[in-house]
Amino acid sequence: MTHVGTTPRTTPSRLAKRSTQELEQIYAILDEGLFCHIAYIEGNSPMLLPTGYGRIGDKLYIHGSVGSHLMRSLADGREVCLAVSLLDGLVLARSAFHHSVNYRSVVLFAKGELVTDEQERWDALEAFTEHVMPGRWAEVRQPSASDMKKTMVIAFPIVEASAKMRTGNVNDDEEDLSLPVWAGVLPLSLQASSPIPDPILNPEIAVPAYVEQYNRQRKA
């Protein structure tokens, strides 16, 4: 199993047993998450951007409008801290104190790199679309020259990264185990409900299988 670089920042001082630098695990969490939070510094203040992303190999890509001040800020090579967090369940202990959550998260430290190569830009947009909705890219009207001109793509190398998680059941204190309180885990997951067609959609166009079976695909 391959590992990515461990630095003091990606080696948590507490709860180290929940940590891992295993690359496969990091990739799996990044691939399951649908959006990330990016922390950066503007002036002397911390700032946060929630945004979508795609991954190709050891690079994570975001995109946005070339007119966006924010995108230009992130493309200037400043350091960011990026997190993808998946909430897997509520851990309901017998005591308030031992309540917890099951989760998987990745934290990545990186500097944004403006992508200028046209093929890499195209591939990043395809990866972004396929990440959110596998099967979609081949079917839609792909980016025009004008679309590409309006779009900025930024790459973050996945090098200084760590995964953290909690799984499993409740951990109550011995003396609380006999309390008449239900204890266990309530699993949570992001689920799709019935697709809502565009009101002006030609009614002869059927919902694609990759939309209809989105929940099943994500589990696979």
According to CB under 8 A, which residues from 93 to 152 bind a copy of itself? Answer: 93-97, 99, 101, 103, 105, 107, 109, 125, 129, 132-133, 136-137, 139-144, 147, 150-151
Nearest to 21 by CA among 168, 111, 29: 29
| 46, 60, 73, 123: residue in contact with a copy of itself (rule CB under 8 A) | 46
Of the residues 69, 116, 119, 220, which one makes contact with a copy of itself according to CB under 8 A: 69
Cβ atoms of 141 and 111 within 8 Å: the answer is no
Structure tokens at 79: 């350091």
Q: 65, 72 in Cβ contact below 8 A? A: no
Q: Mask of contacts with a copy of itself, 147-176, x by CB under 8 A?
A: x--xx-----------------xx-x---x
SS3 6: coil
Q: Tell me if 56 contacts a copy of itself by CB under 8 A.
A: no
73 is a contact residue toward a copy of itself (CB under 8 A): no
Residues numbered 186-215 forming contacts with a copy of itself, rule: CB under 8 A: 186-202, 205-208, 211, 214
Complex with a copy of itself: residue 17 or 182, whichever CB lies closer: 182
